[in-house]
């Protein structure tokens, strides 16, 4: 279960809100820039938890982590005119008159890194990263102008065994966070399907890339709007309607009858492979999945929430094969590659909607609060807290002057500490400290739970690390 704050699903998109005005007397605006986020500690706990799952899956699958600058040459992202991502860039001229941009996606940076390593890089390459990406787009629930994106990419593998590995990793993540195949799913198709259909309809190769951008919006636009946008490219209404009809097919056998077995053989092989990973229940064929980026060349996929308990309809993640990206940057030959991007915003919203985030994620993990009764005993308190930390126990020393001991207990409750360890004059002279329990003592296997809230003991300093409440002393405190 989660105790994450409920989300206001009826709030206005951030792009529709009025810009913040400066406060009186020239005070700075306290809200973050529209579409961006602050991460105070309570928010960081959720982000750190999510990232730990990303890291765990990537490392389990043998991927190595990399990173690249958030600021890149603008030219790196300008592949073909008309792509939304090109229009949404945060770009500007820097002080040395260079055109630069905040990265809208990681794949071009990765391609630059692969090219820069040349023949010294042994294939296959399995790399992952969790970069922050920036796009100036309309903001709604599940969509920001900055987000973190888990990327996993495989280079040097020309067959769909690479795609199968990536799809298995995504499903591994879903299982790790408790998302079932009844709650999320991955739709799979291939750019080769769309290419075959367009050739059959005498649609030119020059029209292919911009048509992909339009067809990618089939689930967002009315059929008439798609036909109208395709007509701008010079595609007839008859061809557009036939194209839309084929792209709405959800069965590989039916598609094979329409366009031939050769165009779907690769997809059949992929679906056979994922059965071996034990994740086939998450996957389904959907010809309408084409992805909007121009560099995709083969299998493409997107993951979605399919639970009625989540109102988000945006893609959770997406990816595919992009074998020709290096030649667009000057390489002499293509290098097989595929990968995916998995944003942090949508998945956290879905996990909140479905109560999948464990309650303990919200906890500020501090086992012990060490409190000196007076300032003369602060050096001793520092000694005790250091002993605890050296033993791997998260601990704090109470930093303000201890005016009232009750205030320290309130602070201990606020930081969710398990125990308060008090350094008092008489006890310290006897080699002891006072230990007050703030929570239920965890029960061991086969043991009954002990209510230790408020229980207080004198404990030898040397025994503090291994102290267990004696059973005979516990009986007098039982509150059942």
Task: Give dist(CA 297, CA 137) in Å, integer.
Answer: 26
The pLDDT of residue 161 is 98
Confidence bin at 256 (pLDDT 50/70/90): very high
Same domain? 110 vs 72: yes
Residues 35 and 139: beta-carbon distance below 8 Å: yes
Mean pLDDT is lowest, of 235-239, 257-261, 452-456, for 452-456
Instruction: Supply the mean pLDDT for the chain.
Output: 87
Q: Are residues 86 and 234 in the same domain?
A: yes
Question: Does 447 score more than 60 pLDDT?
Answer: no
The secondary structure element, H or E, covering residue 379 is helix 378-390
Q: Can you state the percent helix, strand and coil of the chain, rounding each to 5?
A: 40, 20, 40
Both 427 and 463 in one domain: the answer is yes
Q: Is 36 annotated as a binding residue?
A: no
**pLDDT over 60 (residue 117):** yes
Backbone φ and ψ for 155, nearest 5 degrees, come out as -115, 145
135 marked as binding residue: yes
180 known ligand binder: no
Domain end point (choices 353, 372, 406): 353
- 291 marked ligand binding residue: yes
Beta bridge partners of 72: 101
Q: Label residue 82 by pLDDT band (50, 70, 90).
A: very low
Which of 294, 322, 353 is the C-terminal boundary of a domain? Answer: 353
Given 353, 378, 403, which residue is the final one in a domain?
353
What percentage of the chain has pLDDT greater than the value 70? Answer: 87
Q: How far apart are CA 168 and CA 177, in angstroms?
A: 14
- Pair (194, 144) in one structural domain: yes
In this structure, how many other beta carbons lie within 10 angstroms of the beta carbon of residue 100? 18
Using 50, 70 and 90 to split pLDDT, how confident is the model at 303?
very high
The answer to whether 137 touches 152, Cβ cutoff 8 Å, is no
Is there a binding annotation on residue 296?
yes
pLDDT at 1: 41
477 labelled binding-site residue? no
**Close Cβ partners of 345 (under 8 Å, ≥ 6 residues apart):** 142, 143, 144, 147
pLDDT value at residue 290: 85
The closest of 145, 16, 34 to 88, measured between CA atoms, is 145
- The verdict on residue 9 lying in a domain is no
Give pLDDT tens digits for 29-79: 899 999 999 999 999 999 999 999 999 999 999 999 999 999 999 999 886
Any known ligand binding at 94?
no
26: region left, alpha or beta (phi > 0 left; psi from -120 to 50 alpha)? left
């Amino acid at each position: 279960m989660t105790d994450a704050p409920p989300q206001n699903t009826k709030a206005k998109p951030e792009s529709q809100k009025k810009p913040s005005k400066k406060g009186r007397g020239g005070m700075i605006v306290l809200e973050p820039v529209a579409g961006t986020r602050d991460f105070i500690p309570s928010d960081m706990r959720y982000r750190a938890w999510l990232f730990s799952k990303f890291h765990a899956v990537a490392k389990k699958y043998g991927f190595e982590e990399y990173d690249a600058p958030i600021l890149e040459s603008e030219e790196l992202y300008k592949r073909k005119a008309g792509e939304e991502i090109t229009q949404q860039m945060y770009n500007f001229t820097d002080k040395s008159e260079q055109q630069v941009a905040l990265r809208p996606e990681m794949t071009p940076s990765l391609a630059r890194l692969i090219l820069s390593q040349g023949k010294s890089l042994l294939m296959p390459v399995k790399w992952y990263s969790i970069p922050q990406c920036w796009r100036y787009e309309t903001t709604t629930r599940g969509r920001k102008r900055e987000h973190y994106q888990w990327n996993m990419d495989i280079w040097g593998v020309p067959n769909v065994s690479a795609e199968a590995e990536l799809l298995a990793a995504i499903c591994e993540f879903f299982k790790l966070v408790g998302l079932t195949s009844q709650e999320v799913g991955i739709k799979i198709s291939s750019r080769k399907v769309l290419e075959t259909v367009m050739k059959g309809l005498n649609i030119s190769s020059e029209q292919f890339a911009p048509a992909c951008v339009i067809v990618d919006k089939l689930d967002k636009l009315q059929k008439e709007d798609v036909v109208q946008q395709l007509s701008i490219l010079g595609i007839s209404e008859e061809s557009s309607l036939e194209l839309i009809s084929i792209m709405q097919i959800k069965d590989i056998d039916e598609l094979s009858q329409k366009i031939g077995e050769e165009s779907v053989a690769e997809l059949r092989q992929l679906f056979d492979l994922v059965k071996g990973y034990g994740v086939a229940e998450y996957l389904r064929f959907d010809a309408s999945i084409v992805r909007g980026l121009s560099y995709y060349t083969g299998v493409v996929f997107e993951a979605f929430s399919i639970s009625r308990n989540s109102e988000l309809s945006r893609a959770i993640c997406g990816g595919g094969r992009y074998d020709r990206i290096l030649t667009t940057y000057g390489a002499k030959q293509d290098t097989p590659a595929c990968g995916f991007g998995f944003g942090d915003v949508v998945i956290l919203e879905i996990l909140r909607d479905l109560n999948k985030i464990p309650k303990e994620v919200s906890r500020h993990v501090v086992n012990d609060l060490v409190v000196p009764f007076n300032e003369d005993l602060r050096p001793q308190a520092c000694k005790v807290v250091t002993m605890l930390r050296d033993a791997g126990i998260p601990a704090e020393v109470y930093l303000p002057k201890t005016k009232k001991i009750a205030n320290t207990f309130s602070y201990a409750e606020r930081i969710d500490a398990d125990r308060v360890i008090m350094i008092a004059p008489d006890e310290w002279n006897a080699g002891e400290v006072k230990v007050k329990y703030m929570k239920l003592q965890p029960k061991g296997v086969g043991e009954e739970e002990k209510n230790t809230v408020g229980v207080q003991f004198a404990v030898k300093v040397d025994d503090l690390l291994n102290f267990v409440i004696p059973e005979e002393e516990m009986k007098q405190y039982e509150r059942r």
